[in-house]
Every structure is written in structure tokens, then in C-alpha cells.
Amino acid sequence: MNLLKSPLRSLLHLWCLCVSLVALVAEPNGVLGQTNETVWLESWNDCPTKRALVEYVGRVSDPNHKDFVPVPERIAVFDNDGTLWPENPIPFQLAYAFDIVTKRAANDLEFAKEPMVQAVLNKDIATLTAGPKHEGLLQVVAMTHAGMSTEEFSKSVSDWIQTSKHPRYGRGYDKLTYVPMQEVLRYLRQNEFKTYIVSGGGADFMRVWSERVYGISPEQVIGSAARMRFEMRDGKPVLIKTLDNLFVDDKAGKPVGIQMGVGRRPVVCFGNSDGDYEMLQYTTIGNPRASFGAIIHHTDAEREYAYDVAPKSTGKLVVGLQEASAQGWFVVDMKSDWGRVFEE
Amino acid sequence: MNLLKSPLRSLLHLWCLCVSLVALVAEPNGVLGQTNETVWLESWNDCPTKRALVEYVGRVSDPNHKDFVPVPERIAVFDNDGTLWPENPIPFQLAYAFDIVTKRAANDLEFAKEPMVQAVLNKDIATLTAGPKHEGLLQVVAMTHAGMSTEEFSKSVSDWIQTSKHPRYGRGYDKLTYVPMQEVLRYLRQNEFKTYIVSGGGADFMRVWSERVYGISPEQVIGSAARMRFEMRDGKPVLIKTLDNLFVDDKAGKPVGIQMGVGRRPVVCFGNSDGDYEMLQYTTIGNPRASFGAIIHHTDAEREYAYDVAPKSTGKLVVGLQEASAQGWFVVDMKSDWGRVFEE
């Protein structure tokens, strides 16, 4: 295979290297861009989180720094609802379930008579969330997330996300991702981090659009999931969705989901709610690698929702906000830290 | 950031492209190497499987071919025991469990008295595998795979694989991978496939050494797994291994494991046993993408083991071998198709 003699090849390599370097420097997204936060995090105002993130990334990607993290270990995990896109007035996956139930009820009068279908139609959240395990909601999830093949479910989600609109913003749910967080995803990937979604939402629900919307491939989506059933139907293999052995990828389940799906401890974690506290602990406490943790704090009633400004619950979010300073977790004040929230 | 003016940049790009192409052609592992099976599959004799694999890879990586598969969808799945390394005289993970039990029994006389520990010490496989669910074996698995943190377990596996020796070959288990299959892994990765292990073995067991031994990162290892328990111990987060909600990544479980861990349908599948039949079906039957399936057939008593030459069971392997031709699955005859089996 050596078409060219060795000294000539060496010369060519040297040439190639020089020319490539010049070309990279001349590119807006080239080598110099990697450390230029004005390009990568342009929707962020100057704030402690932005400064710390840039400093952290610079440190762990510098092979001469004691905190250097080898590329395969650069795992960054992100909650989805409330961290990468809103979770109000209801989590978007629940909006999907309600829309599907509503649509089916219009064509199926027997189905429409069922009490929990009635509760959906009447927006009777109290009935749906009654009981310690929110049995009503679980019934709605079962109606809309089980009994069909993964392909049928994917198609249903894909159709929905391309046609439905958020009640407040009047645009598709997939057009409501937080621009500053999209920038963090790209900035980390540019610095050879692998970005994962680790969400209480359904893995199969997110995987339909995660690559298009966040640039996160299905393999890097970890979420709640039940055990599917493999079947041959009409001579073709299908996976049927069930609710058996449901794994809830939330709270203490998140580190478990990470171990099952990644098998490595993350070094970067962004979350926002009660459900993300243990994932923050797992990423940052006692990690032999230098790590970075942040909480998105919903403080902006004007552009988004200010639902956790003064949380009254005794949930883990309150604990997380209280502990943040001691743990070295950064708290993102959406109102003051983000120059914009959504794509214009 | 545009240090150089646009026409100069364009010229530089053109230069860079030309020089890079020349350099690649001049490299033994360069562009031309990708289609040169003598470099990538050198331990394979000329045989139908080798020819078909090279033809398949050429077809699906040619953007002008109707069977072109976009890079993100180039998912290749491999069984481990019997496909990438041997599974005789017993599966290597079982050898690990037996070694751990034996070592502990030497230091703990109470432990040594337990009936299933006695069965291990006496190599009494009949007792261990009695009952429909092999309760004895399950006890041994519980003794050796549950109750410790993932970190403790990883260290134990890592120590074992670096010190234990295979009884027949007298070398470390990790030195017994099949060279021809290592070549297939590298050949596919060279052509931008993502290679996954999908094994009935424990995910946590394989992830300890999969990157070093196969070049397969922990994220791309799918295996049997139980639900871990997140805990804070001495102020530090740990994941404790249990046997709760055990997911057995075998037989009809393999397509389920693939959907949970990858979320995409594979296009290449190599397996060898009853446990791989459904994964072969899922990869090749009714797949809208061009696919490739192969069964490693253990026919070589001299260099390896010839345990499935004339299988007497009515298991899925027999069905698979019978159906192979009709399904387009290739059967690898280890004795005649592989020029060598192990690293010398």
C-alpha cells in the first residue's frame, strides 16, 4: 500500500499538518473557537456559572493540567424536563398522553366513558393524581404507552410533536428548548464530552426526536422504561411496549440508570428538580475526577415560569439549593443569567 | 476569528484536501485499506462469510448504492460467550464466580459448610444445576454478584482477570479472544460501525475489561443486569449490586436489551447459540435497512471445542442452523474458515 516512498510521505505529513493547522485557525469554529465562550455560550450573560463552566472545561481538557479528564471519561448528563426544555403547565410527555386520549375519545364513545378518560377530558387533575401512586395517571400512561409496538409508538410521538402546540407559546414543543442549554450541549461536545439525557421521562418518547432537537443520539438517552416483549407478528419481529418491571429513572433511580446505560460515572451534571438531587451527588461527591454540577433555577415568570423561586415543599430541590454552595454546585438564575430563553 | 481573507482560505482548504487525500492513499490503514480485506480480515481463510461481509460493508458504506446505511444507523451487535471468546469448559463468568467462592471458603469455614459452596468446591455441577431454575447456581451468583458496590465488584473482576488462567490453554481468559472476530470488530469500526456486545453475561462483569480487550467502551456493552440500589455510605454515593428485577439479556431478552440500550435496530449481528436466535431475527428479518447475520459454528475440536457440530437439543441453535440458508444467515465453520483462532 505504500505508494509513495517514506521520506516523501513524511514531508507530505508535515505539509498536511501545517496546512490543516492554518485552516483550523482560520475557521470560526476551529481550534481557537473551543475556548471562546462568546461564540459557544453567547446567550449567557456574564455570570458565575458561565465563568466556572468555561474554566472547568479548559482545565479538564488540558493534558498538562492535573485535573485533565481523558476523552472517554468526559460524560455529561442532563435532566430534560425543566433543564433542557420547560415542564409547564404540565410535563410535555403528559401533554402527549392527554392529546392521544382526547383524540381517541372523539372516535370511541365506549372509551370516552371510562372515568380516567373523563378526567382527562375535563382536565380534572385532582382525580388523576389522587392516591399515593397516582393510579389515575398511571392508567392514562398505560392507555397511551403500552400495548403497541415500539414502531407504532414512535410514529405516534413523531406525528404529535410535529403538529401539537404549546398552549402558552403557540408553537411546537420541540421549538421550546432552552437556547442557553443547547449552547452548553454543543460547547461540551465541541470539547469532546459525550452528552446524555438522563430524564424521568420515557426513553422511547425522547429518542424519537432527541437527535434532531438536541443532537443527542438515541443511544445517549436514558429514561424511564418498562420491559418490552419480543414477538413475531406476521413473520416479522416486533417489540411490544408494556408497563412490566417499570424502571423509574428519577431521584435515586438516576444514578442507577446512568450505571445501566453508561457504566461510567459522569463528570458534568445539569438538573433542576427534586428528581436530580441524587444524580448531582453521584456526579460530584467523592468523584476521583474533577466534576461540575449545576441547578437550573426557574426564576423568570415573564419569559418562562417562576415556579421554584420560593419552593414550599421539603423536597430535594430545596435541600439542593441550600447545599449548593457547600457542594460547589452552581445555581443558574434563569432571569438574570440567560440573555434569552427560547429561539426567537 | 477569520484571520485570513476568504479566497486565501478557500485555496488553503483545497490544498489541505489534496494533500490529505495523497497522505491517506499512502497510508497502509488509509482509505484504500478500508476495502482491502487482506489487511483487515487476515486471519480469515477465503470463505463465503468473509466474501459476503466485505461485499456487504462495501455496499452499505457507498453513498451512491441503494443499500447505503447512514453512519448513525451502522449498529453491529455481537454475542460474547462463544462468539468473541470461548464458553468452555464453563462460561468464563462462572469460572470467576467459582474462583471467588473457592477463595472465600478457604478463609471462612462457616461459609465453606454451605451446601452450594460445597457443590462448587467439589465441582458438583449436577447439584448446582438441579431444579428448573438452577437454584444452586443462582445462589452462587448471589454470593458473588450482589451485596457489594459496583466499585468493589469491578476491582474484584479486574484482579481476577489479570491473575486467573484458563485450565486448558494455561493463559489468562482475556488472552483467549478469537482473533478473526477481533478483526471483524476493527474492520466494522474502520467503516464507521458502532460495535456493541449484547450478551447473556453480566454487563458489569464485561464492562471492566471490554474496552481494553475488545476496544468496546462500557457504554456499548449490553448484558444481564439487576436493579442496583443507590446509597450514601460515609458521605459518598455508591451503587450496591442486588439481584432484584433481574433482566436476563438472553434469547427474546436480547432484542429488548438492544432497544433499552441502543434504541435503534442493528444492521449486523454475530451470534453462536440458542440465546442469539431472536437477536438474529430482529437484526435481519423485515429490517428496512440492508443487514448481515452470521452464526459462529463450533466445529474445531483441535484448536477450540466442537460442542455444537451435531447438536442433539431442540434448541434455537438447531433451528437457526436449519433456517440459515433461507434467512440469508452465514454460518462460520471455525475449523475451515479461520486461519487461526487465538493470538499466538
- Kindly tell me if the per-residue pLDDT of A177 is higher than 70: yes
> Which is it for the CA torsion A157, A158, A163, A168, positive or negative?
positive
CA-to-CA distance for B203 and B222, rounded, in angstroms? 6
Cell numbers that stand for B343 in this block? 493470538
Asked if B252 has any chain A CB less than 8 Å from its own CB, the reply is yes
Query: Among B194, B186, B166, B164, which residue's Cα sits nearest to residue B77?
Result: B194
**Which pLDDT belongs to residue A291?**
98
DSSP-assigned letters across all residues of A30-82: SGGGGG-HHHHTTTBPS-HHHHHHHHHHHHHT-TTSTT---GGG-EEEE--BT
- Cβ–Cβ < 8 Å for B186, B107: no
Q: Residue B9: its chain A contacts at CB < 8 A?
A: 23, 26
Q: Between A and B, how many residue pairs show a Cβ–Cβ distance under 8 A?
A: 148
A117 or B22: which leads in pLDDT: A117
CA-to-CA distance for B68 and A236, rounded, in angstroms? 22
Helix axes A277-284, A316-327, angle to 10 degrees: 20
Cell numbers that stand for A117 in this block? 378518560
Is B75 in a helix, a strand, or coil? strand
Mean predicted confidence (pLDDT) in A88-104: 97
- Cβ–Cβ < 8 Å for A296, A337: no
> B237 vs A207: CB contact, 8 Å cut-off?
no
**A7-35 confidence digits (pLDDT tens):** 444 444 444 444 444 444 444 444 444 45
Q: Residue A235: its chain B contacts at CB < 8 A?
A: 285-286
**Which pLDDT belongs to residue A316?**
87
Domain boundaries, chain B: 31-86+176-224+248-337, 92-147
- Say which of B12, B28, B235 has its CB closest to residue A19: B12
> A2 vs B253: CB contact, 8 Å cut-off?
no
Mean predicted confidence (pLDDT) in A155-163: 97
**Which pLDDT belongs to residue A238?**
98
Residue A38 pLDDT class (50, 70, 90 cuts): low
Which residues, other chains included, contact A233 with Cβ-Cβ below 8 Å and sequence gap of 6+?
Answer: A149
Is ipTM > 0.85 here?
Answer: yes
Q: Residue B19: its chain A contacts at CB < 8 A?
A: 12, 15-16, 19
What sections of chain A are H helices per DSSP?
Answer: 6-26, 37-40, 48-60, 92-107, 109-112, 115-121, 125-128, 135-145, 150-163, 179-190, 203-207, 210-214, 253-261, 277-284, 316-327, 334-337
- Cβ–Cβ < 8 Å for B330, B294: yes
**CATH architecture for segment(s) A34-86+176-223+249-337:** 3-Layer(aba) Sandwich (3.40)
Query: For residue A233, which phi and psi values (nearest 5 degrees)?
Result: -120, 125
Supply the pTM of this predicted model.
0.89
> For chain A, what is the mean pLDDT?
90
> Within 13 Å and on the Cβ side, how many CA atoms surround B139?
16
Mean predicted confidence (pLDDT) in A152-179: 98
CA-to-CA distance for B88 and B301, rounded, in angstroms? 11
Query: Among B210, B175, B174, which residue's Cα sits nearest to residue B195?
Result: B210
**Which pLDDT belongs to residue B308?**
87
Per-residue pLDDT of chain B (344 residues; tens, 9 = 90+): 333 344 444 444 444 444 444 444 444 444 444 456 668 999 999 999 999 999 999 999 999 999 999 999 999 999 999 999 999 999 999 999 999 999 999 999 999 999 999 999 999 999 999 998 899 999 999 999 999 999 999 999 999 999 999 999 999 999 999 999 999 999 999 999 999 999 999 999 999 999 999 999 999 999 999 999 999 999 999 999 999 999 999 999 999 999 999 999 999 999 999 999 999 999 999 999 999 999 999 999 999 999 987 766 678 888 899 999 999 999 999 999 999 999 98
Which residues, other chains included, contact B247 with Cβ-Cβ below 8 Å and sequence gap of 6+?
Answer: A227, A245, B224, B225, B226, B253, B256, B257
Cell numbers that stand for B236 in this block? 459518598
Q: What CATH class is the domain B31-86+176-224+248-337?
A: alpha beta
Q: Residue B232: its chain A contacts at CB < 8 A?
A: 281
Which amino acid, one-letter code, is at A85?
W
Mean predicted confidence (pLDDT) in A310-321: 80
- Cβ–Cβ < 8 Å for A244, A50: no
How far is B318 from chain A, CA to nearest CA, in Å?
19
Q: Residue A3: its chain B contacts at CB < 8 A?
A: 25-26
Per-residue burial over A43-56, b if 16 or more Cβ lie within 10 Å, else e, is bbeeeebbeebbeb
Query: Among A254, A337, A247, which residue's Cα sits nearest to residue A296?
Result: A337
Query: Which residue has 493534558 as its cell numbers?
Result: A63
